[in-house]
Amino acid sequence: MAATKQKNLWYVRQARRKRRFTTLLTVFFILVQVLWVGVPIFMTVLWSLVDPNHPWSFPNILPEKLSWGQWMYVFKYTNILRALKTSYTLAPCAVLLSFLFSLPTAYVLGRKQIPGKKFFQTIVLLPIIMPGMVVALFLSRVFNAFGLAQNFFGLVLAHTLMGLPYMIRVLTTSFEAIPQDVIDAAENLGANTFVKIKDIFLPMVRPGLLAGMIFAFTTSIEEFNLTFIIGTPTFETIPTILYSFLGYNFIRTNASVVALIMMIPNIIMLFAVENFLKSDYLSASLGKL
């Protein structure tokens, strides 16, 4: 009896109303966000499924007929397959190379107190900060001079350049996070340099390494400026193909298919790695200048 009376007091009601307001706000934000992200993606999916013989035009709210026709068309009559092959051979090469290049650098930046460290850390960020088109255009002059333009190896180097900052930053943070005590303990127990690398450093930076590889990989898959200037027309990657569909001859249906082809692996990757892709890594590689 006393309890029910308590529950009906005005201030209890007001407190409950306040809580409900917070919940409502969360739901509202989620709804807005679902629309914000969902509608563009949904529309693209729809467009990619429009039947070529029943075009979707102004008064119709939904396409008359859905089919895989556009997908067939894109795979049959465009260079998408070749572009896919180029993109997905380029990316692993660039990831491997940037891993090999970044490991020693990240080790020094993460574990040694060297003069000029701040300077080196800024240098590492340059590929992200420097305007892409400027670098692309004038690096292409350099590449031309050395015969690296319109050349697969040249493209790998270019993509490595763009992946390196993420790789180095994330690995540096991982190296920094290893407590000196652990290393001292290993040394104290008689570990030599080789054992230290194999049993201490590498396992402890592995999560960071994975995160860095994912960043470098997606960077390579998305890279446009350098590929566009240095690679095309000899090499086409998915972004450059998409660009051509969006450019002079805008073909919305084809572009939808290519956009989805480019996007789906990324989103799958995002959800597959959500767990260890903590925002620490994201902010380590993107934020803090």
Partner 1 sequence: MSRLILKDLVKKFDNVAAVNHVSLEVEEGEFVTLLGPSGCGKTTTLRTIAGFYQPDEGEIYFNDRLMNNIPPAKRNTSMCFQSYALFPHMNVWDNIAFGLKMRKISQPEQKKRVAQALEMMSLSGMEKRMPGQLSGGQQQRVALARAIVTQPDILLFDEPLSNLDAKLRVQVRVEIKEMQKRLGITSIYVTHDQDEALAISDRIVVMNQGQIEQVGDPQSIYLHPMTSFVAGFIGLANILSGQVVARKENQVQLELPFGRFWAFAGGLRASVGDTVRFSFRPENVVQYREGSPNKVSATIQHAIFMGDTIDLFLDAKGTRLRARAESAAKLKPGDIAVFSIDETAFQFLE
Partner 2 sequence: MERKNVSSIDYLLLIPGVGFILLFIGSSIFITITQSFGVLSVTGKSQFTIENWKAIFHDKESLDSILFSLKIGLLSSVGTLLFAFPVALFLRKGGSGKRFLASLIKIPLFIPALVAAFLIINLISYHGIVNEALLALGIIKKPLRMLNDKFGWGVVAIQVWKNLPFVLLILSSSLASIRDDTIDAARNLGAGTFSVLFRIYVPLAMPGILVSMILMFIKAFGDFAIMSVAGPTYPPSIALRMRNTATLFQEWDKAAVLGVIIILTTLFITWLYSRLAEFVTGRK
Asked if residue 6 binds partner 2 (CB under 8 A), the reply is: no
The alpha helices in 223-286, defined as continuous H runs, are: 225-226, 238-246, 252-273, 279-286
Structure tokens at 152: 């697969």
Candidate residues 4, 8, 11, 275; the one interacting with partner 1 per rule CB under 8 A: 11
What residue 274 binds from partner 2, partner 1, none (CB within 5 to 8 A, per partner kind)?
partner 2
| Best CA proximity match to 94, nearest among 158, 11, 176, 47 | 158
Candidate residues 181, 190, 247, 249; the one interacting with partner 2 per rule CB under 8 A: 247
Candidate residues 15, 35, 39, 126; the one interacting with partner 1 per rule CB under 8 A: 15
What residue 104 binds from partner 2, partner 1, none (CB within 5 to 8 A, per partner kind)?
partner 2
Would you say 92 and 254 are in contact if contact means Cβ atoms under 8 Å apart? no
Candidate residues 18, 76, 112, 141; the one interacting with partner 1 per rule CB under 8 A: 18
Choose between 158 and 207: whose C-beta lies nearer to partner 2: 158
Asked if residue 222 binds partner 2 (CB under 8 A), the reply is: yes
Q: Looking at residues 118 to 157 of the shown chain, list those that interact with partner 2 (rule: CB under 8 A).
A: 120, 123-124, 126-127, 129-135, 137-139, 141-142, 157
Would you say 178 and 200 are in contact if contact means Cβ atoms under 8 Å apart? yes
Torsion of CA 63, 256, 131, 237, to 10 degrees: -170
- Min CB(57)–partner 2 separation in Å: 8
- Cβ count near 51 (within 10 Å): 16
- Near partner 1 by CB under 8 A, which window of 5-13, 67-75, 246-254, 276-284? 5-13
Contacts for 224 with CB less than 8 Å, ≥ 6 apart: 132, 239, 240, 243
Asked if residue 25 binds partner 1 (CB under 8 A), the reply is: no
Asked if residue 251 binds partner 2 (CB under 8 A), the reply is: no
What residue 109 binds from partner 2, partner 1, none (CB within 5 to 8 A, per partner kind)?
partner 2
| Best CA proximity match to 47, nearest among 12, 74, 11, 17 | 74
Between CA 234 and CA 245 the distance in angstroms is 17
Q: Is the dihedral of CA 209, 212, 214, 217 positive or negative?
A: negative
Asked if residue 282 binds partner 2 (CB under 8 A), the reply is: yes
Candidate residues 4, 6, 8, 23; the one interacting with partner 2 per rule CB under 8 A: 23
* Residues engaged in binding partner 1 (CB under 8 A): 6, 11-12, 14-15, 18
